[in-house]
């Protein structure tokens, strides 16, 4: 999807962006600080550590997937509601949605191997 994220439509991982095919379009998603704040509120957690811990437990609901993907889409400049995102088609179904959320969380929080990098 040209015009979103990088000029050529490619995600910039250094900025925490990921790319996914959603509803037949290549879209850029990013968990910006605003998107992370939105998720803190939505999940009723007090801080980013609690948000990360919530997801590191490995148990997610369909609502969780929808909220994180929707926040990532909004952070990537795609203005749509959670309800609109819930109605969208992701090729690969739930497994693909889990992969998108995993990529977003990894891009936002890093992994144990790169968490020490600035």
Range in 6-10, 52-56, 74-78, 85-89 the model is least confident about: 6-10
In contact, 29 and 18? CB cutoff 8 Å: yes
- Name, in order, each residue with C-beta under 8 angstroms of 109's C-beta and a sequence gap of 6 or more: 48, 52, 115
pLDDT for the residue numbered 59: 86
Instruction: Measure the CA–CA gap between 93 and 14, rounded to whole angstroms.
Output: 27
Helix, coil or strand: residue 20: strand
Return the H-helix or E-strand segment holding 18: strand 17-22
- Indicate if the pLDDT at residue 83 is higher than 90: yes
- Indicate if the pLDDT at residue 113 is higher than 90: no
- Indicate if the pLDDT at residue 24 is higher than 70: yes
Instruction: Measure the CA–CA gap between 44 and 112, rounded to whole angstroms.
Output: 25
pLDDT for the residue numbered 21: 94
DSSP 15: G
What is the token pair recorded at 85?
Answer: 């995102």
Residue 111 banded pLDDT, cuts 50, 70, 90: low
């Amino acid at each position: 999807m040209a015009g979103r994220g990088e000029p050529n439509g490619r995600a910039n991982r250094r900025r925490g962006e990921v790319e996914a095919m959603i509803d037949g379009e290549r879209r850029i998603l990013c968990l910006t600080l605003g998107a992370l704040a939105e998720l803190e509120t939505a999940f009723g957690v007090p801080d980013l550590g609690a948000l990360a811990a919530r997801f590191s437990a490995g148990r997610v609901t369909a609502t969780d997937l929808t909220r994180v993907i929707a926040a990532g889409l909004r952070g990537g400049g795609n203005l749509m509601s959670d309800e609109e995102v819930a109605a969208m088609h992701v090729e690969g179904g739930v497994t693909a949605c889990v992969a998108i959320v995993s990529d977003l969380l990894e891009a936002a929080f890093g992994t144990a191997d790169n968490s020490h990098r600035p």
